[in-house]
Amino acid sequence: MHSQQVTAEPPSNDVPGALWSPASGADRAPLTFDVIIAGCGPTGAMLAAELRLHDVRVLVLEKETEPKSFVRIVGLHIRSLELMAMRGLLDRILQHGRQRPAGGFFAAINKPAPKDLDSAHAYLLGIPQPVIERLLEEHAIELGAQVRRGCAVTGFEQDDEGVTVELADGERLRSRYLVGCDGARSTVRKLLGVGFPGEPSRTETLMGEMEVGVPQEEITAKVAEIRETHQPFWLRPFGEGIYSVVVPAAGVSDRAEPPTLEDFQQQLRAIAGTDFGVHSPRWLSRFGDATRLAERYRVGRVLLAGDAAHIHPPIGGQGLNLGVQDAFNLGWKLAAQIRGWAPETLLDTYQAERHPVAGDVLDNTRAQMELLSTEPGPQAVRRLLTELMDFDEVNRHLIEKITAIGIRYDFGEGPDLLGRRLRDIDVKQGPLYGLLHRGRGLLLDRTERLTVGGWSDRVDHLADPTAALDVPCLLLRPDGHVAWIGDDQRDLDDHLSRWFGKPAA
C-alpha cells in the first residue's frame, strides 16, 4: 500500500496525495467494521466507547501486546471529570485517584482556584495513566467494542465506500472509517500525508522509577538545591523503596526507544554531582517539548484524534484531557454519519470545533514554558502574572482555559451560553448528567409545551419546570454543549435538523 493511487475523489475534505483507491466494488472485501481505530490509548478507548453507545461496529487495533506499565500520574481536569460523569464512569474512576484542588496549574504558579468555579466537579483528579487507560478500555469492551492487541496498523487505502487497513503481519481489514488515535508518532497521520507543523523539541527530559542507594535526607537537601536552577529535576519516594526520578536529558534525541539506566546516572552526576546510587529501574522513558498541530483532522474517511493530531509539553497536564475530549466530540458525529442521520456538514464540525481548541492549548503551553524559564525577562513576566492572578477574573480565565470548561464553540449569534457546555445542574430526576449516559441529545424544557417530534429516536425530552436554569428551554448535543436556547417550536425544529438531521418519517 502506498500513497500515490490518487485517481478518484474522496467524499470531502480531500487533499492531494491522500491515499485513494479507485478499486471497483467487486474487488473489495466486505465492510466488516464501521470504524477501525488505530491505537488503544485514552483517546482510542474513549472513542470506541462513544461509538458503541450508538451500536457502531468498532474494532480497536493496538500495536502493543500488553497495556502500558509505566506509572505516570496524570491529572484529569474538570471538563474530563464532567465527561466521565456524563457517561456514568465518574464513581468508578474516583476510586482510583486522588482529588486535589483545581488551582495552581498555570505555569505551576501557586494560586488557589476561585471558590465558585462553575462546575459540580471542581477539582483535579490525580490518577496513574495506565489505570485511566484500563478503565476506559474496559468501558469500551463492556459496551461491545473489540480490541485486538499486538496489531500495528502499517498501511491503508481509502475508496468511495470504505478503508482497507493493513496490519504489520499483512492481514487486511475493511471498515467504513479509520481513526488514527495512534499517538504523537502517528503512522496514520504520516501515511495520510497531513502536515504536522510547529516547533521541534528544544529540550528533552528523562523520567523513570528506580531504587536509590543513599538516605532520603541526602536526596532531599540535594534536590532542593538543584531545583533552584533546574526546573525539571526531582527524586521523589514512591513507596516500597522506589523513587520517581526526573532529570533533564543531555540533548534532544527525538528517539522513540526508552533511555537506559546509564543515561540517568550520567545526567544525575552531571547536574547533581552524584547519581544517588540509582539502580534496579522499574521503567524508563523520555519526553520532549515539541509543539505541533496537524493541518487537518480529516481526509475523506480517515480522521485523527488525540496526540496523533496535536502535541505539546506536559505543563498544565492537558494532553490526555484534550484527546479524550476530541473523542467525545467526534464519537456521536461519526456514529450519526454511520447510522445515516448526520446532516451533511456534521462530521466536518469535528475539525471546525476541535482544531482551534488544540491551537489554544498549544499556545497556552508555549506561554507556560516561557514562564518557566530562569532568564530574568521571563522571570519578571512571571512575577507580574503572579500579581495579576490576584484579580479573580484573571485567575478564573486561566483555570477555565486549563480545565477546558471555558470552551465556547462557534454556533453563531446567540446568548453567551450557546456553544458552551452546560454544567451538571439539578433536574427533577437528580443530576442532569445522569440523563446523558446513553449519548443522546436532550431537550431540557421548562415551558413544558415543546416537543422533539420526529427526532425522538435521537433526542430525549425532559419537561421540567424545576430545572435550575435561567432560560426557558435548551437543546443539548450528546457532548453536553448547548446547541439552542429559546421557546419557539419552529426555531427548535430548525436546530434539531441542523444537529440531528431529518426527522424520522
Ligand X SMILES: Cc1cc2nc3c(=O)[nH]c(=O)nc-3n(C[C@H](O)[C@H](O)[C@H](O)COP(=O)(O)OP(=O)(O)OC[C@H]3O[C@@H](n4cnc5c(N)ncnc54)[C@H](O)[C@@H]3O)c2cc1C
Q: How remote is the C-alpha of 295 from its chain's centroid?
A: 17
- Element (DSSP H or E) covering residue 444: strand 441-445
Q: Which of 306, 331, 441, 478 binds ligand X (CB under 6 A)?
A: 306
* 207 binds ligand X per the rule CB under 6 A: yes
* 307 binds ligand X per the rule CB under 6 A: yes
What are all long-range contacts of 457-460, with beta carbons under 8 Å and residues at least 24 apart?
A: 457/504, 458/336, 458/341, 458/500, 458/501, 459/496, 459/500, 460/435
Q: Which of 114, 314, 378, 406 binds ligand X (CB under 6 A)?
A: 314
Q: Report the nearest approach of ligand X to the CB of residue 24 (Å).
A: 28
Q: Which of 152, 367, 417, 435 binds ligand X (CB under 6 A)?
A: 152
What x/- string results for residues 156 through 195 when contact with ligand X is judged by CB under 6 A? -------------------------xxx---x--------
* CA neighbor of 60 nearest in space, from 31, 33, 29, 22: 33
Q: Report the nearest approach of ligand X to the CB of residue 55 (Å).
A: 23
Candidate ranges 33-41, 49-57, 405-413, 457-465; the one touching ligand X (CB under 6 A): 33-41
* 312 binds ligand X per the rule CB under 6 A: no
Is beta strand 430-431 parallel, antiparallel or unpaired with respect to 459-463? unpaired
CA distance 66 to 44: 15
Q: Are the beta carbons of 147 and 140 closer than 8 angstroms? A: yes
Radius of gyration of the chain (CA): 24
Can you tell me which residue has the cell 552526576? 269
Give, as one character, the DSSP assignment of residue 414.
Answer: S
Q: Which of 10, 44, 331, 480 binds ligand X (CB under 6 A)?
A: 44
339: its cell numbers: 447510522
* 83 binds ligand X per the rule CB under 6 A: no
- One-letter amino acid of 287: F
Q: Which of 20, 35, 36, 75 binds ligand X (CB under 6 A)?
A: 75
Q: Which of 14, 64, 160, 464 binds ligand X (CB under 6 A)?
A: 64
Question: Which residue number, 156 or 276, has a Cβ lying nearer to ligand X?
Answer: 156
Can you tell me which residue has the cell 534496579? 280
CA distance 263 to 27: 52
* 42 binds ligand X per the rule CB under 6 A: yes
227-256 positions binding ligand X, by CB under 6 A: none
What x/- string results for residues 90 through 129 when contact with ligand X is judged by CB under 6 A? ---------------------------------------x
204: its cell numbers: 528533552
- Per CB under 6 A, residues contacting ligand X are 38-44, 61-64, 72, 74-75, 129, 152-153, 181-183, 187, 207, 287, 306-307, 314, 317-321, 323
